[in-house]
Structure 1
Amino acid sequence: MAKTSTMDMTVGNIRKEMILFAIPLLAGNVFQQLYNTIDSIIVGQVVGPDGLGAVTSVAPAINTLVGFFMGFSAGSSVVISHFFGAKNIPGLRRAVHTSVICTFILSLFLMIVGFFLTPPLLVFMSTPESVMPLATQYLQIYFLGITGLMMYNIGSAILRAVGDSVRPLIFLIITSILNIFLDLFFVINLHLGVAGAAYATIISQFISAILTIAVLFFNKECYNLRLKEMTIDKSILSQIITIGMPAGIQSAVISFSNLFVQSYINRFGESSTAGWGAYGRIDAFVMLPMQSIALTATTFVGQNAGAGNVDRKKRNTRISFPCSFMHSGSCYS
């Protein structure tokens, strides 16, 4: 296995490996959060309060969806990292291909359902009438591009599972910069307003997905993708669902509760909606370090569980928990 693209966490200095893995992961999460944040900034400056209110009002719905899939993809990451740590190459390959094909099918389902459920969802959230048309437009376009987001996330989850957190970061840096230029071009030059911001986001997400999936197809590692192996292994899918479904629900519950909070805030008008949305952006950034620590621990424990290294799993836990507690404590200070 090429050392430049994977990290074997079953050997070596635990703290050093966690830091080397977590820093690119945290940076990548920051860039991923920048997608909608940049949309909000540019739309707010160019379109005005109604445009900003439209973009921020749909944030809880987007965060609920993204949160669920991030948790669900953690199920794939755990299973894949377990096989990787155990050096079980046939199982690793089945898990990788099952994860990719299932994600693609699920993304098509969510694209269709999300597009048609957007109007009633925004009504449920008591979205102000003044921003309803723009909010509907933005969220429906976002759902049309949900495949790009989900394919990037599962591709990066696979790379993380084998210890590669650097290439997903590189792809996010590239597409985040692209997103800024596309936002400016579509919103200012083409005068597409909120729709332009949505188009910029989904185009950038599709490019990040293409880059990630291309790496999986064209690399020479043991986890590379092959079209002839694109089948669903039912036993592995069962493992992924068993681990990923509770994690996905847990991740989505907090964001889902914000849908109700958003529905009450929206009743005070677009200015309150925009203000609440701005707070939500800040809150999302505050949570990123803990999310990165959790994802690092997931990969580390998964690989060492597969290798049967019980002691290294325990030592990782003794490092991860204090780090999370210190960060959460600093948020309240």
Structure 2
Amino acid sequence: MSTSMTKGNPLKLMLQFALPLLIGNLLQQTYNIIDAAIVGQILGAKALASVGASSSVQFLVLGFCMGCCTGFGVPVAKYFGAEKMDTMRNYVFNGAVLTGGIGVTVTILCSVCCPQILHLLSVPEDIFRGAYHYLLIIFLGIPFTLLYNYLSSILRSLGDSRTPFLFLAFSAILNIFLDLFCIVVLKWGCAGAAAATITAQAISGILCLVFIGRKMNVLHLTKENRTVNITAVKELLAMGLPTGLQFSITAIGSMVMQSANNGLGSVCVSGFTAGMRIKQFAMCPFDAIATSASVFCSQNMGARQPERIKKGLRQGVAIATIYGLLIGLVLIFGGRTLSMIFVKKSAADVLDASGKYLRCLGYFFWSLGILNVSRMVTQGLGYSGRAVLSGVTEMLARTIVSLGFVGALGYTAICFADQAAWIAACCYIAPTCLHCVKKVTGILEGNGNR
């Protein structure tokens, strides 16, 4: 069911939109945690390292794909807010064509280059085989990842975050059973974990497609809508590619960081993998709040309501910062204990590494709330190119810390690389977002030019 966010209490609307998205993200990360726990507890610490050794390149590739899908949804939200339904449907079709093209191209390139990617990441020989099998299957499943992410992005652009959540919840639960079946029964090892993930993603994407076909009349395309429109393609690419590149550019810094960490040995790789899974779980509310604020501001830009845009940004940043402070305390005092989900108590060195990573993250977790909301609102207002620069800033900060300090400080430098990236990006994107909001409100009030 589509929902307009151009009328009513902004905070209530954003929280209602964010709640299903948050629960869905938490379920997805819960699966990721269970996935890692099954691998770590059943197959051992080295298998866990195999699954985690390529996480940064997965973020690079899948982040680019998902970022493009998110960007393609921005014009759809704008035209939905402006009640230009025929134009909106044109953009939905053209976005689907672009998504299909990206899926084919990225899948072929990444699958062919998989061994070279792992060598580039300095994956240790004792975990290389498992890492290769896991990553190759993830790459082959990119079209299914894109199917779900594009359709869910379109549904969220129309204010429906509940339906994608329900399908994601189903696939996350299915994922757990498939994991156990592929790893325990079929004994496929790390490849089984990847196969389970891709199968569940495919099912969630198909469910979204069936739902749109049966229930979302507003998205049903006429013959006139099913034509490639150069104007639509240009606007979609202007939003989608910068958003995708922002994720990828950020991931380049993460790849440099992971490569440096991989060089420290399998203990640091296992500890980092366990800590990263917990970090990703803790980050879910940031993603939900930021996406909600972005859709809210985008719809209200289409509806020409500048004061609601300002209010949405303020309230989004406030909620995210408060959450960041609270969860930071949990990471500081409970990180090592939480790491026991993935690693047996006897692997004290791995638990110490994971606990240290999470403790260091906790001190600066609040800054990630400001960063995510500011960046997503900037994108939602149509300035995705400027948001990309925040990704460049993150990349540079992670690269400088990883290449400049790991040699002298070892794993301690890895533990502070993320925070350096967050703070540096905040210093750029927070004032940039305020400038973009001021510029948009000036245009809507008739006092400026975009």
Query: What is the TM-score normalised by the length of structure 2?
Result: 0.70
- Alpha-carbon distance in structure 2 between the residues aligned to 1:98 and 1:46: 45
Partner of 1:317: 313
- How far does the alpha carbon of each residue in 1:61-83 deviate from its partner, in whole angstroms, 9 at most, with x for none? 11222322333222212100001
Partner of 2:183: 187
Alignment partners' CA distance in 2, 1:228 and 1:32: 37
Would the aligned equivalents of 1:218 and 1:224 in 2 still touch at CA under 8 Å? no
Say if 2:62 and 2:142, in contact at 8 Å, map to a contact too. no
Partner of 1:274: 270
Provide the aligned length of Structure 1 versus Structure 2.
Answer: 329
Match of residue 69 from structure 1: 65
SS at match of 2:113: helix
Counterpart AA for 1:216: I
Residue number among 97, 100, 111 corresponding to 1:101 in the alignment: 97
Q: Mind listing any 5+ residue stretches in structure 1 that lack a counterpart?
A: none
Match of 2:38 in 1: 42
Aligned equivalents of 1:274, 1:286: Cα separation in 2: 19
Aligned to 1:125: 121
Supply the distance in 1 between the matched residues of 2:228 and 2:266 (Cα, whole angstroms). 46
Q: Is contact 1:22-1:296 (8 Å) kept?
A: yes
SS state at 1:131 partner: helix
2:290 pairs with 1:294: yes
Aligned to 2:372: none
Within 2, Cα distance between the matches of 1:141 and 1:53? Answer: 17
Counterpart-to-counterpart distance in 1, 2:216 and 2:21: 23
Secondary structure of 1:232's match? coil
Matched, 1:236 2:249: no
Separation in structure 2 between the aligned mates of residue 248 and residue 33 of structure 1, nearest angstrom: 21
Residues 251-286 of structure 1: per-residue CA shift (max 9 Å, x gap): 333332111111121123222211111111122222
Rg larger in structure:
2
Cα deviation for residue 228 of structure 1 reads 7.9
User: Residue 130 of structure 1: SS of its match in structure 2?
Assistant: helix
- Cα distance in structure 1, aligned partners of 2:219 and 2:277: 35
Question: Contact 1:217–1:225 at 8 Å: present in 2 too?
Answer: no
Give the Cα–Cα distance (whole angstroms) in 2 for the partners of residues 248 and 158 of structure 1: 16
1:151-202 superposed Cα distances (whole Å, 9 cap, x missing partner): 1011110000000000111001101110000100110011111111111110
Q: Percent identity?
A: 35
Q: Which residue of 1 aligns with 2:166?
A: 170
- Counterparts of 1:10 and 1:50 in 2: how far apart (Å)? 51
The one-letter amino acid of 1:298's match is S
Gaps of 5+ in 2: 329-361, 364-450
Q: Is the 8 A contact 1:64 1:255 kept in 2?
A: yes
User: SS of the counterpart of 2:219?
Assistant: coil
Offset at residue 230 of structure 1 (A): 4.0
Matched-pair contact (CA < 8 Å) for 1:72–1:247: yes
Partner of 1:305: 301
2:195 corresponds to 1:199? yes
Q: Do the aligned partners of 1:25 and 1:292 also contact (CA within 8 Å) in 2?
A: yes
Q: Are the aligned partners of 1:98 and 1:237 in contact in 2 as well (CA < 8 Å)?
A: yes
Relative to structure 1, the CA distance from residue 41 to residue 6 in structure 2 (aligned partners, 3 Å threshold; closer, same or farther) is same
Inter-partner Cα distance in structure 2 for 1:229 and 1:242: 20
State the Cα RMSD in Å.
1.7
For the 8 Å contact 2:30–2:281, the answer to whether it is kept is no
Q: Secondary structure at the match of 2:294?
A: helix
On the 8 A contact 2:3/2:159 being kept in 1, the answer is yes
Residue in structure 1 matching 2:17, options 17, 21, 28: 21
Q: Secondary structure at the match of 1:10?
A: coil
| Equivalent position of 1:83 in the other structure | 79
How far apart are 1:225 and its partner, in Å?
4.8
For CA contacts below 8 A with separation 6 or more, give which structure has more relative contact order: 1
Structure 1 residue 107: Cα displacement: 0.9
Deviations 1:132-153 (A, max 9, x none): 1111111001111111111101
Q: How far off its partner does 1:220 sit?
A: 4.1
Tell me what 1:211 maps to: 207
